Amino acid sequence: MAVSGGFEGSQEGSRLAPLVSSYLRSLRAADYSPRSIAAADTDLAQFARFCEEREVAGVDELALSHVRAFVAGLSEGTVGPACRPYARASIARKLSTLRRFLGFCVSEGIVGVSAAQGVRAPKARRRLPQVLSPQQVFELLESIQGDDPLTLRDRALFELIYSCGLRAQEVLDLRVHDIDPDRREARVTGKGRKQRIIPIGDDALRAVRSYLERGRPKSAAVAPGSSAVGGSSAAPVREALFLSARGRPLRPSDVRRRLEKYLPASDAPAGTSPHTLRHSFATHLLEGGADLRAIQELLGHASLATTQVYTHVSPAHLRRAYRLAHPRA
């Protein structure tokens, strides 16, 4: 079997292909995002090529040694078309995909035990996130000035990311009806399609209102199919909160590119990204005295351990907590 990219769309046969197709259908049924499904498809196709090279015909012939060799090959750069070592985070993701797929095979009664059981991914180095100071955030957001639709959109976009601590994909997935100006809330769909309600600050709410009143209608007027009544193809465009100049939904690369446009006019360092605003949101809340579990809920983290990285970013918060809590501080 020669798989290019993934199993989806491939016309060539494989003993693994029907199982992978069934597994991907189960992900769709569980409402996984298209990006997650595409990543799983690509990862499993890569593993299938690895198995084919070693004449492992089916999942019932897999052994623990095969999975360990696959992980080692990713780390050493001997697996995959790039012929270079994969980053630890990428290896961890691919192994996680393989574990879930083999777990699916066990649950379906195809094999008795997962061949990935006991295989560990290499530990990723935890890098502290880049964080802006409140003054740097203020200068960056205030540098976005203008009444044209794109500038109004950009101001609303980045105010909302910082005010609510959103991931780039989360802010792009927002629909107009996800913003409730009266309740001053945003309904956000995060990883795993989990929804959470996040308060919107005054500055962000003003920026969003200005965009909805004076910016978005002009972009929506030139959207594909905007003149048609009804029509499913135009529906996602009409619903998306943030639109391009041509009335289309934005991509994460668009968000990064637009933010880079405003960096020279502020004191924000090179490399500042939309995710930097999310990190800054969490750190500033922590420094302001917010409870770590509340920050976890706002960020949409499944585990508190993920949120605890911000206690390392904010030594000022730790010093203040020490002074307030220690009897001999």
Q: Report yes or no: 114 and 95 within 8 Å, Cβ to Cβ.
A: no
Catalytic pick among 66, 153, 310, 317: 310
Question: Among this protein's residues, is 284 annotated catalytic?
Answer: no
Question: Among this protein's residues, is 167 annotated catalytic?
Answer: yes
What distances in angstroms separate CA 78 from CA 83, 116, 223, one per listed residue? 6, 19, 46
Amino acid identity of 294?
A
Strand partners, 175: 240
Catalytic pick among 155, 167, 216, 279: 167
Question: Among this protein's residues, is 94 annotated catalytic?
Answer: no
- Which helix H or strand E contains 67, and what residues bound it? helix 64-76
Catalytic pick among 93, 99, 191, 238: 191
Q: Residue 163 CB: number of other CB atoms within 10 A?
A: 22
For the chain, where are the E strands, in sequence order? 179-180, 185-189, 195-199
Catalytic pick among 88, 218, 275, 320: 275
The per-residue DSSP string of 11-61 comes to -S--SSHHHHHHHHHHHHHTT--HHHHHHHHHHHHHHHHHHHHTT--SGGG
Question: Among this protein's residues, is 278 annotated catalytic?
Answer: yes
Which has the closest alpha carbon to 256: 136, 129, 169?
Answer: 169
Q: Report yes or no: 249 and 220 within 8 Å, Cβ to Cβ.
A: no
Catalytic pick among 94, 155, 278, 317: 278
**What residues are annotated to the active site?**
167, 191, 275, 278, 301, 310
